[in-house]
């Protein structure tokens, strides 16, 4: 065999381990519909979740999941990176550069910034409450001077609220992740949680594989002897799709035959 023939001879390459291939199948939008406004209690305190924002995020997630493979992969990336939700990853301060939620595209803020603005507002409201308590305890009506002063105080409070950044007014708290360069708002994470849970209830293998893979990765974050991404895929696939997903047809048949022999010997 000469050198030219040697060069032309095909070389057997070791197959690269991949996660199980999934066909792009849309999920019925009707089956995924959910009314957060009806199911969640209305926002009463500043730290409560806003049902309107959860609904906005959820509806966009459903559209992106069904749009194309690229959009679906992006949603899968966010689910793997941000679930399960860790409150410790809420931002304290957003910093000088504007940050936006990767799903709703709303500007984000931090817990510290919200506390600062509402803390100043709380002092002004305290003055108004104290004034009302004095009038009530003295069992008398306000004087014209007191009414004017109280009205000025209320206008000051309204002005402070109006001057707040919109992301502070709406308490759009940003959340980061060690596994992503993106940011989400707390309401978006709530929407992702509901979405992934719903698909699991539908028996969606793609979502089941994704969450199991994410769980395996998170459980070994602090381990010294981590398994490789290829091995993570194999374990997640075995749990989700069964042993057959990780072995050749020939090996699987041999295992099935051995299993039958063992069962016959037991009998």
Walk along the chain (267 residues) and give the pLDDT tens digit of each residue.
Answer: 444 443 444 445 444 455 445 577 888 888 889 999 899 999 888 888 999 999 999 999 999 999 999 999 999 999 988 988 888 899 888 878 899 999 999 999 998 888 887 777 655 555 555 555 655 665 667 777 767 766 767 777 677 677 778 888 888 999 999 889 999 999 999 999 999 999 988 888 888 878 777 666 666 655 655 656 555 555 555 545 454 445 455 554 555 565 566 666 555
Q: Tell me what pLDDT residue 163 has.
A: 74
Q: What is the DSSP string of 53-74?
A: HHHHHHHHHHHHHHH-HHHHHH
DSSP character for 245? G
Task: With beta carbons less than 8 A apart as the criterion, state whether 107 and 100 touch.
Answer: yes
HSE on the CB side for 232, CA within 13 Å?
18
Phi, psi of 177 (to 5 degrees): -150, 145
- Cis peptide bond N-terminal to 66, omega within 30: no
Spell out where the chain has E strands. Answer: 174-177, 180-185
Supply the pTM of this predicted model.
0.66
Q: Is 4 helix (H, G, I), strand (E, B) or coil?
A: helix
Q: Tell me what pLDDT residue 224 has.
A: 58
Q: Tell me what pLDDT residue 71 has.
A: 95
- Cis peptide bond N-terminal to 125, omega within 30: no
User: What does the block give as tokens for 98?
Assistant: 């504007």
Residue whose tokens read 């500043």 = 46
Q: State how far the Cα of 225 lies from the Cα of 223, in Å rounded to an integer.
A: 6
Q: Tell me what pLDDT residue 6 has.
A: 38
């Amino acid at each position: 065999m000469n050198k030219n023939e040697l060069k032309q001879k095909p070389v057997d390459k070791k197959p690269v381990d991949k996660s199980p291939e999934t066909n792009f199948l849309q999920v019925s939008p009707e089956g995924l519909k959910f009314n957060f406004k009806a199911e969640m209690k209305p926002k009463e305190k500043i730290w409560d979740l806003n049902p309107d924002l959860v609904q906005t995020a959820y509806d966009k997630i459903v559209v992106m999941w069904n749009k194309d493979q690229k959009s679906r992969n992006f949603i899968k990336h966010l689910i793997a990176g941000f679930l399960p939700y860790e409150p410790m990853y809420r931002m304290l301060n957003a910093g000088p550069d504007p940050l936006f939620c990767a799903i709703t595209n709303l500007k984000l803020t931090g817990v510290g910034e919200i506390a600062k603005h509402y803390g100043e507002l709380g002092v002004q409201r305290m003055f108004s409450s104290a004034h009302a308590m004095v009038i009530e305890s003295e069992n008398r009506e306000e004087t014209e001077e007191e009414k004017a002063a109280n009205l000025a105080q209320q206008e000051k409070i309204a002005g402070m609220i109006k001057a707040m950044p919109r992301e502070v007014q709406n308490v759009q708290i940003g959340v980061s992740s060690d596994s992503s360069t993106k940011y989400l708002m707390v309401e978006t994470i709530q929407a992702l949680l509901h979405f992934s849970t719903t698909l699991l209830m539908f028996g969606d293998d793609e979502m089941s594989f994704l969450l199991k893979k994410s769980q395996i990765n998170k459980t070994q974050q602090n381990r010294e002897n981590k398994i490789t991404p290829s091995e993570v895929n194999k374990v997640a696939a075995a749990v989700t799709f069964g042993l057959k997903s990780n072995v050749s047809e020939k090996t699987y048949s041999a295992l099935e035959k051995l299993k039958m022999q063992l069962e016959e010997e037991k009998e």
